[in-house]
Chains A and B, each alone.
Chain A
Amino acid sequence: MEVLLITGSTIEEGRLAKGGDKFKAEYTKECAACWIATVDFVTLCSPEKVKVTSKNGKHSVVVYAKCTDSVRPGNVFMPKAIWTNVVVDPDTLSTGSPLYKGAPVKIEPTEERVLSAEDIVLKVYVRGQ
């Protein structure tokens, strides 16, 4: 399913990030999440986890799915953290700041494992898996 990705802060994300708890399971639970509108969530058969893939198909990340009425159908929200940035478009339109909000991505249900912040760095960035 093609959707527009909006990223942003949540209070818990701020609390855990500023508290230096980026390696805690609680941080993964809060931030490795994709908030999906109810209609889209049901269309995807209410998955526990979704795989979010960038527009060019080059990068993808597995996160927990969360049903919400805070976004409109066709939009999804992810708390700003290392997971969402895996799929954020590195093109800055010559401004220096990547497209954190409103970039098209693809979401699909998955059974794959959600990686921790450390594993994203070691497995995705260092070893390019």
Chain B
Amino acid sequence: MTEVILIPKRNVDIKLEADIINPDSFAGKSAEEIGNLPIWQGPRTYPLCEFFEVKVNGGSSEAETIIRIKGDASRVKRIGEGMSAGKIEIEGSAGMHLGTGMKGGEIFVSGDTDSWPAMEMIGGLLHIKGNAGDHVGCAYRGKWHGMKGGRIVIEGSARHQVGGGMDGGEIFVEGNVEGFCGIRQTGGLIIVKGRALRGVGAEMTAGTIVIGGKIERFSPGFEYMGIEEGLTLGGVELKGKFKKFIGDYAISTRAKGVLYVAVDTNTEL
């Protein structure tokens, strides 16, 4: 087991791009080697040790590498991009593109994250204690397919376009979401405990969404199917009554997306 500890040295002005903060690239390296890995600030690269103090305790392979960032990394982008194994723990907030395209391993954030966490995730676990920005587990611009597997857990709230173009995997949001949660979803599961603003499941053709709170503006292309009581989805048990809808018929006449909406909070639907 290797433990790499990164301690931010100073406040960052122009945001950093640190795709090398990643168990795959840290594995088997000494503190000095890790400290010399390049990170980007604007068009220049700097050694990692310019911005972080690096401490390493033993170990070798990717799967056994734990990276602990002790402090705020909200101006550090692309941490854990494409990681395949190991673990990253951030004791603070993280910047954009956290765990983008991750294939495996775990990321745990005790604070908030900026937009695009786990974009097009393939596998692994991303756990965010605080809130997340836009595009959680979403597809990149103009792309039709987003997250394919893995699991995202957000204990706070997320903003727009959660799970856009999702093909597989699971997203759990304890708090609220804003617009277009599960847009263009073609598979997988999204569970939101709180309220949603609008466009839930817009343009979805398959997959499942559960909204526990109120939907402010319901997507008009969904058809009511009936009431179901008590759901067990993705290993999570959901109590209470849910209205089941199928859609989105705005995008396809053969849509098979399933949307469950809590009855208590959405009496008028």
Instruction: Mark each residue of chain B from 166 to 184: 1 if its CB lies under 8 Å from any CB of chain A, else 0.
Output: 0000000000000100000
Q: How many residues of A contact B (CB 8 A)?
A: 2
User: Which B124-144 residues sit within 8 Å CB-CB of chain A?
Assistant: 133-135
Residues in chain B near residue A94, CB distance under 8 A: 115, 133-135, 160-161
- If over half of B's interface residues share one DSSP class (helix, strand or loop), that class is named, otherwise mixed; here it is loop
- A93 CB to nearest B CB, Å: 5
User: Given the complex of chains A and B, what is the CA–CA distance between A66 and B159 in angstroms?
Assistant: 36
Q: How many residues of B contact A (CB 8 A)?
A: 8
- If over half of A's interface residues share one DSSP class (helix, strand or loop), that class is named, otherwise mixed; here it is loop
Residues in chain B near residue A93, CB distance under 8 A: 134, 159-160, 179
Residues in chain A near residue B135, CB distance under 8 A: 94
Q: For B115, give the chain A residue with the smallest CB separation.
A: A94
Residues in chain A near residue B133, CB distance under 8 A: 94
User: Given the complex of chains A and B, what is the CA–CA distance between A93 and B161 in angstroms?
Assistant: 10
User: Which A72-112 residues sit within 8 Å CB-CB of chain B?
Assistant: 93-94
User: Which B176-198 residues sit within 8 Å CB-CB of chain A?
Assistant: 179
- B116 CB to nearest A CB, Å: 8
**7 further interface pairs, Cβ-Cβ under 8 Å (given A93-B134, A93-B159, A94-B160):** A93-B160, A93-B179, A94-B115, A94-B133, A94-B134, A94-B135, A94-B161
**Which positions in B face A, CB cutoff 8 Å?**
115, 133-135, 159-161, 179
